[in-house]
Chain A
Amino acid sequence: MKKEADLSIDFCGVRFENPFCLSSSPVGNHAEMCARAYDAGWGGIVFKTLGLEKSFKVIMPSPRLSIFNNFDKRFVGLQNAEQITDRPILDNIKDIKWLKKNYPKKVLISSIMGYVDEDWSDLAKMSQDAGADLLELNFSCPQMAHKTAGHRTGQDFHAVASFTEVVKKACTIPVIAKMTPNITDMIPVALAAKEGGADAISAINTIRAITDIDINNFTPLPNIRGHSSPTGFSGPSVKPIAMRFVSELYNSKPLNLPISAIGGIETWIDALHFLLLGATNLQVSTGIMRYGYRIVEDMIEGLQDYMMERNIQSLDEIIGKAARKIVDPSEFNTRFQVVSVVDETKCIGCGQCYISCMDGANQAMEFNKETRKVFVNEERCVGCLLCKHVCPVWDCISYKEVDTNEMKHAAIF
C-alpha cells in the first residue's frame, strides 16, 4: 500500500499541509475561488492584493493580457496590465473571514498595498482581525496607475524599511515582503525589509516586459485603446530569472530569512527546483490561469513519489540543497573539460547539430552527406554542448570528460 510522504512545512511558525499556495492574482480574487482552490488541494492562498479605495480607486484596463509565443509553443509567458484588487475593501475582508471560518486548517495570507503609513497599518489590522495567518506586503506590482505605489516602492530601500516597520507595529502575525525583480540586486531591498522587521521574503513579482506588437498598427500588446506599457511578465519564461533571485536570497548570509518562491511554477519538478534553491513555500498564478487549480494534484503526487523513491522524510531535508552548489564563475574547475559524444544508433541524420556547431560554436561537428551521420572532431570540440541542446532526439548526444592535465582540449590553447 502507498504510504504518503509528508509535504507539510513550517513557514514563519505557521503550518502548511503542503507548500503549494496561490500567489496573489486573479486566481485568488474572492472567497468562492479560494474555496475551490482549497478543495483542489492547495495548502494556502495569498488573497488578491487588498487596497483602500478611499486612498486610490483602482480601475483595471482591458484587454489586460498578452502572451509570449515561441513558434508552436504558445503561452510560454504571460504579460498582464492588472493592478491590485478593484473590489471594495469590506467585501474582501468579509471573504477572508468566511474562508478562515470554513477552512480553519488551510493557510490564508493577506496581501496588502498601501500608499501612506496609515493605509498600511489599517490594512494590516483589518487582515489580522479577519483571521489572516500571515501578511504579504506588495512592494512589487509593476503597473499601478498610482505614481508612487507598487514596484516603485519596492525599488526604494527606505520606503520598504519604513512601511514594513509600520505594518509590524500594527499587527502581530508574521509578515512577508514581496520583492520586485525589476531591480539589479534584490538583496539590499530584502535587507531593508528585514530591517523593518519582515519575517520572510517572497519573490518574484512580475518582470516589466513587452511581449508582442501588432505590426499593422505599430501598437504593442495588450492594445489598450491605442496604447500599451511594459507591464508584468510571468509564467514559464520567468522561471529561470526567479530561480536566480531565490538562490541569491537564500545564499545571502546577512538576510537569512525563509523564502516563498514565485515565478513560472507549473509542475512538481518546477516546485522541486525552487525548494532545492532554498524556498520553503511556493506560490503559483500563471500556471493556474492556464490550466486551473487541478495542477496541484500532480504537484502533490509527483513530489510525494519523488520523496518516497529516495526515502526523503520531510522537505527540510532537501531545501537549499542545490543553492549550496552555486559559486562565482571565478571558482569553476576548468582543468576538466568535456567533449561531445554522439550515439550513432540514435542519430536520425537531420544535421541540426552540424549547423549549430558550424555557425554557433567551434566547427567541430562533421557531417557525412553520403551516410547522413555526424562525427565529432574531438580536437576542435570546445565542449559547449550546443549540439546536445539542439538535437531533436533527446538522448542522442552526451559527453565525456577530459582531464586537460593529461590530454589536449580545444578549450585550452
Chain B
Amino acid sequence: MTTAVERETVLDVRDLVKHFPVRQGALRRTVGLLKAVDGVSLELRRGETLGIVGESGCGKSTLAKLLTAHERPTSGRVTVLGRSLHDLRGGELRRARRHVQLIFQDPYTSLDPRMTVAATVREPYDVNPDLAPRGDRDRLVRELLEAVGLNPDHGGRYPHELSGGQRQRVGIARALALRPEVLVCDEPVSALDVSVQAQIVNLLEELRERFSLAYVFIAHDLSVVRHLADRVAVMYLGKVVETGSEAEVYESAAHPYTRALLSAAPVPDPAARGTRQEIVLDGEPPSPVDPPSGCSFHPRCFMAEDGCARSAPVLEPVAGAGHLVSCHLARHPGGDGP
C-alpha cells in the first residue's frame, strides 16, 4: 500500500456517467433519465485493491459494467493502460478489454450450464487465437484450474456438479485466462457462506501477490472490503461521496453516509453489544430518476443544514490529500464521530 504510490496506473476513470432512459406507456416514450452512475472518477495502480461499498441500487454494478466495457458510458472515459476503451471498436476494443475482466456476483448464473468447466475456462483462448497456440491450450487450462485451487479432473464436470465456492473459482479462472491487469469483482462472495467466503477471499489475496493484479472489489459486506482493500470508495446514488485509504475511511469517516453505513454494520462480537452507537438512516433511498436537490443525501442525513438542500457539495480533500469527501459539513462534523 505504501509503495502503490509509485506504481503504474492501470485503470483511470474520469467523470464517468451512465444514464438509462426511463420509458413508460404503450409507446415506450422516454419520460426521464435514471442516473445510475453520475460522474465517477477513480484511479487504480498495479497491484492495488480499491473497495467499493454503498447501498443497493447506488450504481456499483453499473460502474463495474462500465469499467469492463459491458456497457457504454453516456459520457466520461475509462482508460486502461493508457488507452481509452470507448474510442476503440471491433478488434482493438476486444484486445484492450482483455486487460480488465469482470467476476460476477452469482456463481450460479455466470457459468453456461451446458459447458464443462474445461470448455468454459478454454473459451477465452478459443475466441482469442493469438493468445496461445492450439496445442498449448489444454495445458494452460490445467494450470489455471490449479492456480484457483481446482483439481484438473474438475475440468470434465458441469456447473451443476460443483459447489458454489468451486463455481466461483471457475469464474475466476476464466477471467485469469486473458492475463488481465485488473479484476473487477462485483460482490464475488455475497452468495457464499462464511467459510466458503473465506476461501475465496484468501484465493484473491494469493492471486494478487502472484500475478500483481489490481482489484476493484465491490461488496455489501464492509468487513470483507476492509480485509482486502487498500483504498475504499463509498457510493451514494451514482456518486462517490467519500474515498480514501482503508484506514481513513474506516477509522475517520467524514461523510455522514459513510458514518451511518459503518455504524450499521454489525460487529461479530456479542461482548461489544450495546457499545455501538448506531446512526439510524430514516426512509428509503431516493429514486435515481428524480434525485433530491442539492446534496442528494440531505433528506436522510442526520447532520443536514439548510444549505444542503440548495447546493450540491463537491468531492474535495479533508485531512489527507488522498481522503476526499463530498459534504458541506465534512470539515466541521456535528459530533465527534460515531
Note whether A and B form a binding pair. no
B binding-site residues for A, Cβ under 8 Å: none
A binding-site residues for B, Cβ under 8 Å: none
